[in-house]
Protein backbone atom coordinates (compact mmCIF):
# COMPACT_ATOMS: atom_id res chain seq x y z
CA UNK A 1 0.00 0.00 0.00
CA UNK A 2 2.84 2.38 0.87
CA UNK A 3 4.45 1.94 -2.54
CA UNK A 4 1.18 2.58 -4.41
CA UNK A 5 0.40 5.56 -2.20
CA UNK A 6 3.83 7.11 -2.81
CA UNK A 7 3.57 6.61 -6.57
CA UNK A 8 0.05 8.02 -6.76
CA UNK A 9 1.04 10.98 -4.59
CA UNK A 10 3.96 11.70 -6.92
CA UNK A 11 1.57 11.80 -9.88
CA UNK A 12 -1.00 13.98 -8.05
CA UNK A 13 1.12 16.05 -5.62
CA UNK A 14 -1.47 18.79 -5.03
CA UNK A 15 -4.13 16.47 -3.62
CA UNK A 16 -4.86 17.63 -0.07
CA UNK A 17 -6.02 14.27 1.30
CA UNK A 18 -2.76 12.33 1.03
CA UNK A 19 -1.64 13.29 4.55
CA UNK A 20 -4.86 12.04 6.15
CA UNK A 21 -4.80 8.82 4.11
CA UNK A 22 -1.15 8.18 5.04
CA UNK A 23 -1.81 8.84 8.74
CA UNK A 24 -4.73 6.40 8.89
CA UNK A 25 -2.90 3.79 6.79
CA UNK A 26 0.20 3.99 8.99
CA UNK A 27 -1.83 3.71 12.20
CA UNK A 28 -3.54 0.62 10.83
CA UNK A 29 -0.21 -0.88 9.69
CA UNK A 30 1.32 -0.36 13.14
CA UNK A 31 -1.70 -1.93 14.89
CA UNK A 32 -1.63 -4.97 12.59
CA UNK A 33 2.14 -5.32 13.01
CA UNK A 34 1.69 -5.42 16.79
CA UNK A 35 -0.92 -8.19 16.49
CA UNK A 36 1.37 -10.14 14.16
CA UNK A 37 4.35 -9.71 16.48
CA UNK A 38 2.35 -10.95 19.46
CA UNK A 39 1.15 -13.95 17.47
CA UNK A 40 4.56 -14.92 16.10
CA UNK A 41 6.42 -14.46 19.39
CA UNK A 42 3.73 -16.02 21.58
CA UNK A 43 4.03 -19.33 23.40
CA UNK A 44 1.40 -21.01 21.24
CA UNK A 45 3.52 -20.46 18.14
CA UNK A 46 6.70 -21.58 19.91
CA UNK A 47 5.03 -24.76 21.16
CA UNK A 48 3.62 -25.49 17.71
CA UNK A 49 7.07 -25.15 16.11
CA UNK A 50 8.68 -27.37 18.74
CA UNK A 51 5.98 -30.02 18.19
CA UNK A 52 6.52 -29.78 14.45
CA UNK A 53 10.28 -30.28 14.79
CA UNK A 54 9.71 -33.28 17.04
CA UNK A 55 7.24 -34.79 14.56
CA UNK A 56 9.67 -34.19 11.67
CA UNK A 57 12.45 -36.06 13.45
CA UNK A 58 10.17 -38.99 14.29
CA UNK A 59 8.67 -39.14 10.79
CA UNK A 60 12.08 -39.05 9.08
CA UNK A 61 13.12 -42.21 10.90
CA UNK A 62 10.02 -44.06 9.64
CA UNK A 63 10.24 -43.08 5.97
CA UNK A 64 11.45 -45.70 3.50
CA UNK A 65 13.97 -44.76 0.87
CA UNK A 66 12.34 -43.63 -2.37
CA UNK A 67 13.10 -42.19 -5.77
CA UNK A 68 16.17 -40.05 -6.32
CA UNK A 69 16.19 -36.28 -6.08
CA UNK A 70 16.24 -35.80 -9.86
CA UNK A 71 13.18 -37.97 -10.38
CA UNK A 72 11.26 -36.23 -7.60
CA UNK A 73 12.27 -32.81 -8.98
CA UNK A 74 11.00 -33.78 -12.44
CA UNK A 75 7.65 -34.90 -11.04
CA UNK A 76 7.24 -31.77 -8.92
CA UNK A 77 8.23 -29.42 -11.75
CA UNK A 78 5.85 -31.15 -14.18
CA UNK A 79 3.01 -30.87 -11.67
CA UNK A 80 3.68 -27.18 -10.90
CA UNK A 81 3.98 -26.31 -14.59
CA UNK A 82 0.75 -28.16 -15.39
CA UNK A 83 -1.08 -26.05 -12.78
CA UNK A 84 0.45 -22.79 -14.01
CA UNK A 85 -0.07 -23.59 -17.69
CA UNK A 86 -3.69 -24.65 -17.22
CA UNK A 87 -4.55 -21.25 -15.78
CA UNK A 88 -2.06 -19.13 -17.74
CA UNK A 89 -3.19 -20.44 -21.12
CA UNK A 90 -6.52 -18.68 -20.44
CA UNK A 91 -4.80 -15.39 -19.59
CA UNK A 92 -7.18 -13.25 -21.64
CA UNK A 93 -10.18 -14.52 -19.65
CA UNK A 94 -8.79 -14.32 -16.10
CA UNK A 95 -10.12 -11.69 -13.69
CA UNK A 96 -7.96 -9.90 -11.10
CA UNK A 97 -8.49 -12.49 -8.31
CA UNK A 98 -7.64 -15.22 -10.83
CA UNK A 99 -4.46 -13.39 -11.79
CA UNK A 100 -3.55 -13.24 -8.10
CA UNK A 101 -3.98 -17.03 -7.89
CA UNK A 102 -1.81 -17.39 -10.99
CA UNK A 103 0.87 -15.19 -9.41
CA UNK A 104 1.00 -17.48 -6.38
CA UNK A 105 1.29 -20.56 -8.62
CA UNK A 106 4.06 -18.88 -10.63
CA UNK A 107 5.87 -17.95 -7.42
CA UNK A 108 5.75 -21.58 -6.26
CA UNK A 109 7.06 -22.75 -9.63
CA UNK A 110 9.85 -20.15 -9.57
CA UNK A 111 10.91 -21.23 -6.08
CA UNK A 112 10.89 -24.86 -7.17
CA UNK A 113 12.98 -24.05 -10.26
CA UNK A 114 15.45 -22.22 -8.02
CA UNK A 115 15.51 -24.99 -5.39
CA UNK A 116 16.11 -27.79 -7.92
CA UNK A 117 18.34 -25.99 -10.44
CA UNK A 118 21.51 -27.76 -9.32
CA UNK A 119 20.00 -31.00 -10.68
CA UNK A 120 19.64 -29.66 -14.25
CA UNK A 121 21.52 -27.77 -16.97
CA UNK A 122 22.05 -24.23 -15.69
CA UNK A 123 21.41 -22.68 -19.13
CA UNK A 124 17.91 -24.14 -19.18
CA UNK A 125 17.04 -23.29 -15.59
CA UNK A 126 18.37 -19.74 -16.02
CA UNK A 127 16.07 -19.19 -19.00
CA UNK A 128 13.07 -20.25 -16.92
CA UNK A 129 14.10 -18.07 -13.98
CA UNK A 130 14.61 -15.10 -16.31
CA UNK A 131 11.04 -15.41 -17.62
CA UNK A 132 9.26 -16.40 -14.43
CA UNK A 133 10.57 -13.51 -12.34
CA UNK A 134 9.29 -10.57 -14.45
CA UNK A 135 5.94 -12.28 -14.94
CA UNK A 136 5.58 -12.74 -11.19
CA UNK A 137 6.53 -9.09 -10.63
CA UNK A 138 4.03 -7.83 -13.21
CA UNK A 139 1.27 -9.92 -11.67
CA UNK A 140 2.30 -8.55 -8.27
CA UNK A 141 1.68 -5.03 -9.54
CA UNK A 142 -1.90 -6.02 -10.34
CA UNK A 143 -2.25 -7.55 -6.90
CA UNK A 144 -0.99 -4.33 -5.29
CA UNK A 145 -4.00 -2.53 -6.74
CA UNK A 146 -6.45 -5.13 -5.48
CA UNK A 147 -4.80 -5.09 -2.05
CA UNK A 148 -4.95 -1.29 -1.91
CA UNK A 149 -8.67 -1.38 -2.72
CA UNK A 150 -9.30 -3.90 0.07
CA UNK A 151 -7.24 -1.98 2.64
CA UNK A 152 -8.86 1.33 1.76
CA UNK A 153 -12.33 -0.15 2.13
CA UNK A 154 -11.50 -0.91 5.77
CA UNK A 155 -10.12 2.59 6.39
CA UNK A 156 -12.97 4.61 4.85
CA UNK A 157 -14.91 5.19 8.11
CA UNK A 158 -11.82 6.74 9.74
CA UNK A 159 -10.89 9.05 6.85
CA UNK A 160 -11.74 12.72 6.66
CA UNK A 161 -13.40 14.10 3.51
CA UNK A 162 -10.08 14.95 1.79
CA UNK A 163 -8.63 11.60 2.82
CA UNK A 164 -11.62 9.75 1.36
CA UNK A 165 -11.21 11.65 -1.90
CA UNK A 166 -7.50 10.75 -1.98
CA UNK A 167 -8.44 7.12 -1.33
CA UNK A 168 -10.76 7.17 -4.33
CA UNK A 169 -8.03 8.76 -6.42
CA UNK A 170 -5.59 6.04 -5.33
CA UNK A 171 -8.06 3.31 -6.32
CA UNK A 172 -8.65 4.91 -9.73
CA UNK A 173 -4.90 5.29 -10.25
CA UNK A 174 -4.29 1.63 -9.32
CA UNK A 175 -7.08 0.49 -11.65
CA UNK A 176 -5.47 2.45 -14.48
CA UNK A 177 -2.16 0.71 -13.85
CA UNK A 178 -3.97 -2.62 -13.91
CA UNK A 179 -5.35 -1.93 -17.37
CA UNK A 180 -1.92 -0.88 -18.67
CA UNK A 181 -0.28 -4.03 -17.29
CA UNK A 182 -2.69 -6.54 -18.86
CA UNK A 183 -1.02 -6.40 -22.29
CA UNK A 184 2.45 -6.61 -20.77
CA UNK A 185 1.44 -9.64 -18.73
CA UNK A 186 0.10 -11.39 -21.82
CA UNK A 187 3.43 -10.84 -23.60
CA UNK A 188 5.40 -12.10 -20.58
CA UNK A 189 3.17 -15.17 -20.45
CA UNK A 190 3.69 -15.86 -24.17
CA UNK A 191 7.47 -15.60 -23.67
CA UNK A 192 7.34 -18.12 -20.82
CA UNK A 193 4.99 -20.54 -22.57
CA UNK A 194 7.33 -20.88 -25.56
CA UNK A 195 10.12 -22.35 -23.40
CA UNK A 196 10.51 -26.13 -23.58
CA UNK A 197 10.04 -27.82 -20.18
CA UNK A 198 13.63 -28.78 -19.35
CA UNK A 199 12.59 -31.35 -16.75
CA UNK A 200 11.09 -33.71 -19.33
CA UNK A 201 13.32 -36.62 -20.33
Position with higher pLDDT, 2 vs 42: 42
Q: What is the pLDDT of residue 2?
A: 76
Last residue of a domain, one of 9, 34, 64: 64
Q: What is the pLDDT of residue 68?
A: 82
Cα 117 to Cα 71, 124, 188: the distances in Å are 13, 9, 22
Domain of 127 in residue numbering reads as 69-201
In this structure, are 56 and 79 located in the same domain?
A: no
What is the DSSP secondary structure assignment for residue 119, as one 8-state letter? G
In this structure, are 145 and 182 located in the same domain?
A: yes
Q: For 57-66, what is each residue's pLDDT tens digit?
A: 777 777 667 7
The secondary structure of the chain in percent helix, strand, coil, rounded to multiples of 5, reads 85, 0, 15
Q: What is the pLDDT of residue 63?
A: 67
Portion of the chain with pLDDT greater than 70, in percent:
99
Q: Residue 119: which CATH number?
A: 1.40.20.10
The answer to whether residue 175 sits within a structural domain is yes
Please count the structural domains in the chain: 2
In this structure, are 29 and 75 located in the same domain?
A: no
In this structure, are 28 and 109 located in the same domain?
A: no
* Average pLDDT, integer, range 113-133: 95
The answer to whether residue 13 sits within a structural domain is no
Q: pTM for the full model? A: 0.70
Q: For 124-172, what is each residue's pLDDT tens digit?
A: 999 999 999 999 999 988 877 778 888 888 888 999 999 999 999 988 8
Q: Are 162 and 17 in contact (CB under 8 A)?
A: yes
Rounded CA-CA distance 186/177 in Å is: 15
Rounded CA-CA distance 105/99 in Å is: 10
In this structure, are 124 and 147 located in the same domain?
A: yes
The mean of the pLDDT values for the chain is 89
In this structure, are 50 and 73 located in the same domain?
A: no
Amino acid sequence: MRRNLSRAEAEFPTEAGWANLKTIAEARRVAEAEVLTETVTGWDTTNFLLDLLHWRDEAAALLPSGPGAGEVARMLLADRWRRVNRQGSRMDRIDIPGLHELRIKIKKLRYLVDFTKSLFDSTLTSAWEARLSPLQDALGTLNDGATARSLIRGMMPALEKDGAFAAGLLIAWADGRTLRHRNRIQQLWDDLAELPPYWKD
